[in-house]
Each structure stands twice: as C-alpha cells, then as structure tokens.
Amino acid sequence: MAALQDRPKINIPKTKSEKVWDFTGYLCFFCSLVFLLLTWSALPEQVPAHYNAAGEVDRTGAKWELLILPGIGVFTIMLMTLFEKFPEIHNYPKRLNASNAVHFYRSSRKMVNQLKNICLIMFAFLSVESITIALGWREGAGGWMLPIILIGVFTPIVTGMMKRRKIE
C-alpha cells in the first residue's frame, strides 16, 4: 500500500448521486428531529429503548433516551463528512497510483457517503418508530426491521468493494 504521505491530494467535486444521497439522508434526519420536537410533550415518560431481532420492543427507558439516536446521528455526520473530505486517508490496495487515484477516491468517497446517509435514514426511522410506538399509534416494525437494516448497511460496502476491484 502506498504510504499515506505519498498519496495525491485531489479535490474531486461531489457527484450528482452523492448530492442526492446527502439531500435524502439529511432530510430524513431533520424531519425525524422535527417530529421528535413536535411530539415531545405528548410522549409518556417511558418509551421504547431497544428492539430484539424480531423487531419487538424488549426494553423501555426514559423519554430522554430518544435523544441518543440524534446525538449519534450528529456525530456520524461530523465523522463521516470528514472521511468524505479526505479520501486519501482511506485504505486502498497497492495498485493505487497517480493515474487511478481519482477513480479510487471517488469510489471510496461514494461508499462513505452512502453509508453516512443510510445510517441517518435508519436513525430517523428508529426514532420515528420509537415515538409512534410510545404514542400508541402502532405496535412496531416486526421481523423485517433487522434484515432491512443489515441489507442497508452491507449493500454499499459490498457494491463499493466490487467496483473498487474493477479499477485498474
């Protein structure tokens, strides 16, 4: 692997797909925050705090625990945006060189971008899910929640790695 200091630092504009992912992820996350704020006073003191693999609530906690996911979301935004800004620090194969660096950087940055925004969408979904269950509007997501989350997280990783293998 090329030494980190030997890697070219290239300013690559965001692609249209990265902008669409950002818009979608941030919008979902922001809307979940607004929903939390609008429903805060109506929430009971105990709300769903954890789900089992079947998507059933297996622990309740104080409504203040609903602030954990938005907090993690803000941390995720800050950290992953930093990784997007500096793709030269990502892990690359030995075949990385000046002629293919743009392709590697763009591919890696797209993967990080998709992961960031999928996490934001999942945090938004889980927040809304917990709020609606706490308010008695619904019973829960059911058994499909965990598979959807796993597919959502691993799909960009697998597709990103497959695309990276094709870069010469």
- 43, 135 Cβ separation under 8 angstroms: yes
Residue 1 located in a structural domain: no
Query: C-alpha dihedral over 150, 156, 162, 168, to 10 degrees?
Result: -160
| Residue-number span of the structural domain to which 66 is assigned | 48-165
Enumerate the β-bridge partners of residue 47. 61
pLDDT, mean over the chain:
92
Residue 34 located in a structural domain: no
How many angstroms separate the Cα of 88 from the Cα of each of 18, 38, 75, 95, 111?
18, 41, 21, 14, 14
Q: Return left, alpha or beta for 164; rule: phi > 0 is left, psi -120 to 50 is alpha, else beta.
A: alpha
What pLDDT was estimated at residue 103? 94
As a residue count, the chain comes to: 168
pLDDT in tens, 29-44: 999 999 999 999 999 9
- Asked whether the predicted pLDDT for residue 95 surpasses 50, the reply is yes
Residue 35 located in a structural domain: no
CB atoms within 10 A of CB 133: 18
Total structural domains in the chain?
A: 1
- Asked whether the predicted pLDDT for residue 1 surpasses 50, the reply is no
- Asked whether the predicted pLDDT for residue 2 surpasses 70, the reply is no
Residue 16 located in a structural domain: no
Residue 62 located in a structural domain: yes
Residue 26 located in a structural domain: no
Residue 4 located in a structural domain: no
Residue 36 located in a structural domain: no
Out of 54-58, 79-83, 125-129, least confident range: 54-58
